[in-house]
């Protein structure tokens, strides 16, 4: 368990020098995953620290969503290890990941259209009275509170998700993760369907969550968002990690070049 | 999706925004109106329809349908189905007879045997569908044939009678009356309805049933064990067949191997008329109650009006066709509208609201 004397805020923007003092919240070593003939991820090492925002970048099919699914217990790695607080951990189910305080915004959102916003936000985690009876009043209250914090334009948390626009649905998925993640938030393209104002708000919220000491992983194709919010930028290409840099150490051109050519701009120029 | 769309979402009138929600409410209302209309129609045109003896008769017959239709509603919401219910009903009825006549069990014990046997069949269905992974349609089709065969084989094709059974306390519980003539079958049906309605609407398990049928991948991603949910539903379905077999045994004091022939189709008809979403994820026990009541009133009222029993199936079939077409038509109303427009060759600027019907694309297995 973590010692209370180690304030999580001390890790905001943690540099490599501090890393020896305490294991990162989550450490991945040699993660591999194949789907039939397709190698989605191979030999991925990655550390995720509390109070740090890591942006995962890479082309479509680079393996970013696969990595997120592994960390949220939806798929199991073929090979490799995951440690949480230095302890070897098997993310055998989404429930296991949730118990560890990990919440996810899935790329496909994972919402039930026929249920309302409040029910979706508490899906699988419904608060109960007397052991079995769903506490609707509490669900509606808490869902409303988070939605308001997110400043989403929603008529009511009693609206069916099937009646919402794409952007509103994405906001509900983000709100659900905010409600549940106590130690780490995984966000797979959380702003893809959002308007400019909503995207800004999500970026602000990621910053708030970081300052509360959570680890955040965000996948985005939006350069501006990535450079605004990320403390570290990790680039994937064809299932391999090809770069893992502090934001300060990475120029915008470098990132573009990494994404396009798979190497840095000066190297690309040399070829 | 642009920022303007979200702004529009915020300011759009609720009528436009809550389409699904109002459609659903409208459907329940329409169904209630149909049931009430049918009741009034028969009350006026069918002689003796309103007599308490006749109404109790409808209740008695409908109760068995309701008891099995409640778990079937759960199964349909979870995108499953159980075709074996009629045969399991017959199998349990025979088993109850065997328990009394061959093993010398009292009616009480035999009734418990029937319910336990039903639950055991449900466990088998649950294992085959959720552990082995055979689609429910195929697995319960096998059960449909298997348990009818077992019932016939055990009984040797003839009813097992046990008129001189011990334990007549159960008999009065299964076939007595109370409060001035209300048949006890109706009380059983009412009890199952109330429990079924409450569990689906207010408990965590009920929420998980809806989520399982609505979007199983989402349910799994949020930590719901959908396989376990569906397993429990099959056990509930089997146990309900055992319960109706026990009630019938306590009433008729015999176990006929042909009991429940065609029952599965009546149950499914009631559930579909009750407005469960054929694509899963929506539906209610109240709707199923209306479906059962509509079928019960139709078969009773038509007979009272002198319509041959042979024609009843025709009207039930007609009703299913209308309800199913209405539901699918409403869900696909944009496509239908476009098609009609195309047929008239009046191609104006087609207004598409562009909402995919079911992106998750799940199918009843
Ligand atoms: N469930 C799956 N079944 C088969 N192939 C998959 C599955 N999920 C991902 N893939 C494949 O794995 C590769 C990585 O996919 P993904 O992780 O979704 O990439 P990204 O999120 O970076 O766009 C792709 O080639 C994709 O087709
Ligand atoms: Mg992806």
**Residue B47 predicted with pLDDT over 80:** yes
pLDDT digits (tens, 9 = 90+) for B106-161: 999 999 999 999 999 999 999 999 999 999 999 999 999 999 999 999 999 899 99
Is position A98 within any domain?
yes
Residue nearest to atom 7 of ligand 1 (CA): A35
- Asked if A104's CB is within 8 angstroms of B210's CB, the reply is no
Tally of domains within chain A: 1
pLDDT digits (tens, 9 = 90+) for A166-221: 888 988 998 999 898 789 999 999 988 888 888 888 898 899 889 888 999 999 99
- Asked if B9's CB is within 8 angstroms of A165's CB, the reply is yes
Q: Which ligand is nearest to the CA of A61?
A: 1
Q: C-alpha angle with apex B346: B340 to B348, nearest 5 degrees?
A: 105
pLDDT class of A154 with cuts at 50, 70, 90: confident
Is position A13 within any domain?
no
Is position A42 within any domain?
no
Of residues B357 and B254, which shows the higher confidence score? B254
* Residue of chain B whose alpha carbon sits nearest to that of A195: B3
pLDDT on residue B172: 83
Is position A240 within any domain?
no
B22 touches chain A (CB under 8 A): no
- Asked if B219's CB is within 8 angstroms of A123's CB, the reply is yes
- Asked if B222's CB is within 8 angstroms of A114's CB, the reply is no
Is position A238 within any domain?
no
**Residue A150 predicted with pLDDT over 50:** yes
Unique residue bearing structure tokens 């329809």? B49
Task: Assess whether the C-beta atom of A35 lies below 6 angstroms from ligand 1.
Answer: yes
pLDDT digits (tens, 9 = 90+) for B257-277: 999 999 999 999 999 989 898
A173 touches chain B (CB under 8 A): no
Interface size between A and B, measured as CB pairs under 8 A:
125
Residue nearest to atom 11 of ligand 1 (CA): A40
Q: Which ligand is nearest to the CA of A58?
A: 1
- Asked if A163's CB is within 8 angstroms of B207's CB, the reply is no
* Residue of chain A whose alpha carbon sits nearest to that of B3: A195
DSSP letter, residue A232: E
Could you give the ipTM of this predicted complex? 0.83
pLDDT on residue A53: 96
- Asked if A125's CB is within 8 angstroms of B222's CB, the reply is yes
Task: Assess whether the C-beta atom of A56 lies below 6 angstroms from ligand 1.
Answer: no
Of residues A118 and B352, which shows the higher confidence score? A118
Mutation site for B-interface testing, chosen from A163, A164, A198 by largest number of B Cβ within 10 Å: A163
The minimal CB distance from A124 to the residues B20, B217, B222 is found for B222
**Residue B354 predicted with pLDDT over 50:** no
> CATH code at A167?
3.40.50.300
Q: How far is B229 from chain A (nearest CA, A)?
A: 12
pLDDT digits (tens, 9 = 90+) for A21-79: 678 899 999 999 999 999 999 999 999 999 999 999 999 999 999 999 999 999 999 99
B205 touches chain A (CB under 8 A): yes
Residue nearest to atom 27 of ligand 1 (CA): A61
pLDDT digits (tens, 9 = 90+) for B159-194: 999 988 877 788 888 888 887 778 999 999 999 999
- Asked if A197's CB is within 8 angstroms of B20's CB, the reply is no
How many Å lie between the centroid of ligand 1 and the Cα of residue A63?
Answer: 6
Residue nearest to atom 17 of ligand 1 (CA): A63
Is position A15 within any domain?
no
Is position A44 within any domain?
no
Task: Assess whether the C-beta atom of A181 lies below 6 angstroms from ligand 1.
Answer: no
Is position A94 within any domain?
yes
B219 touches chain A (CB under 8 A): yes
- Asked if B221's CB is within 8 angstroms of A111's CB, the reply is no
The minimal CB distance from B211 to the residues A112, A160, A195 is found for A112
Integer Cα distance of B264 and B33 in angstroms: 26
Find chain B residues with C-beta within 8 A of A118's C-beta.
none
Q: Can you give the residue range of the structural domain that contains A169? A: 50-73+90-230+247-270
């Amino acid at each position: 368990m973590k010692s209370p004397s180690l304030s999580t805020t001390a890790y905001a923007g943690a540099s490599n020098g501090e890393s020896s003092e305490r294991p990162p919240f989550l450490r991945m070593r040699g993660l591999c995953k194949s789907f039939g003939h397709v190698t989605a991820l191979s030999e991925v090492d990655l550390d995720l620290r509390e109070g740090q925002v890591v942006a995962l970048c890479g082309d479509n099919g680079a393996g970013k969503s696969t990595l997120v699914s592994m960390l949220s217990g939806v798929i199991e790695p073929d090979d490799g290890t995951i440690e949480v607080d230095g302890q070897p951990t098997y993310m055998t189910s989404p429930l296991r990941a949730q118990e560890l305080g990990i919440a996810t915004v899935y790329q496909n959102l994972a919402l039930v259209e026929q249920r309302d916003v409040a029910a979706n936000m508490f899906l699988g985690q419904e608060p109960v009275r007397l052991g079995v009876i769903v506490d609707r009043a509490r669900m509606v209250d808490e869902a409303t509170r988070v939605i308001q914090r997110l400043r989403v334009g929603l008529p009511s948390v009693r609206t069916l998700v099937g009646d919402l626009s794409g952007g509103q649905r994405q906001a509900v998925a983000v709100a659900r993760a905010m409600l549940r993640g106590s130690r780490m938030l995984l966000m797979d393209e959380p702003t893809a369907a959002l308007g400019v104002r909503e995207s800004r708000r999500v970026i602000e919220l990621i910053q708030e969550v970081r300052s509360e000491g959570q680890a955040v992983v965000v996948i985005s194709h939006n350069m501006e968002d990535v450079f605004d919010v990320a403390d570290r930028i990790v680039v994937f290409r064809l299932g391999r990690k090809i770069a893992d840099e502090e934001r300060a150490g990475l120029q915008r051109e470098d990132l573009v070049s990494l994404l396009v050519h798979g190497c840095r701009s000066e190297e690309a120029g040399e070829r | 999706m642009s920022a303007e769309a979200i702004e529009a979402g915020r300011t759009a009138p609720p009528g436009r925004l809550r389409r699904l929600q109002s459609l659903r409410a409208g459907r329940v209302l329409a169904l209630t109106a149909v049931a009430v209309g049918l009741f009034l129609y028969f009350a006026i045109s069918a002689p003796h329809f309103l007599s308490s003896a006749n109404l109790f008769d409808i209740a008695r017959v409908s109760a068995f349908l309701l008891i099995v239709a409640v778990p079937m509603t759960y199964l349909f919401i979870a995108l499953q189905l159980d075709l074996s219910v009629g045969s399991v009903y017959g199998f349990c009825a025979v088993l109850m007879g065997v328990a009394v006549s061959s093993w010398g069990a009292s009616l009480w014990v035999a009734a418990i045997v029937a319910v336990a046997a039903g639950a055991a069949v449900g466990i088998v269905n649950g294992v085959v569908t959720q552990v082995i992974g055979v689609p429910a349609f195929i697995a319960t089709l096998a059960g449909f044939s298997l348990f009818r065969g077992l019932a016939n084989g055990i009984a040797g094709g003839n009813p097992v009678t046990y008129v001189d059974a011990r334990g007549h306390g159960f008999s009065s519980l299964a076939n007595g009356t109370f409060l001035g003539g209300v048949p006890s079958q109706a009380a059983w049906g009412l009890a199952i309805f109330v429990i079924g309605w409450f569990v689906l609407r207010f408990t965590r398990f009920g929420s998980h049933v809806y989520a399982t049928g609505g979007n199983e991948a989402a349910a799994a991603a949020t930590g719901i064990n959908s396989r376990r949910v569906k397993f429990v539903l099959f056990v509930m379905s089997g146990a309900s067949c055992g319960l109706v077999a026990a009630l019938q045994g306590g009433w008729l004091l015999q176990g006929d191997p042909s009991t429940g022939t065609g029952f599965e189709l009546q149950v499914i008809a009631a559930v579909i008329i009750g407005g469960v979403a054929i694509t899963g994820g929506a539906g209610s026990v109240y709707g199923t109650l209306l479906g059962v009541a509509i079928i019960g009133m139709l078969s009773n009222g038509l007979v009272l009006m002198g319509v041959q029993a042979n024609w009843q199936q025709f009207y039930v079939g007609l009703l299913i066709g209308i309800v199913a077409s209405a539901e699918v038509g409403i869900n696909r109303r944009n496509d239908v509208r476009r098609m009609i427009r195309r047929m008239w060759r009046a191609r104006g600027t087609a207004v598409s609201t562009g909402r995919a019907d079911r992106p998750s694309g799940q199918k009843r297995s």
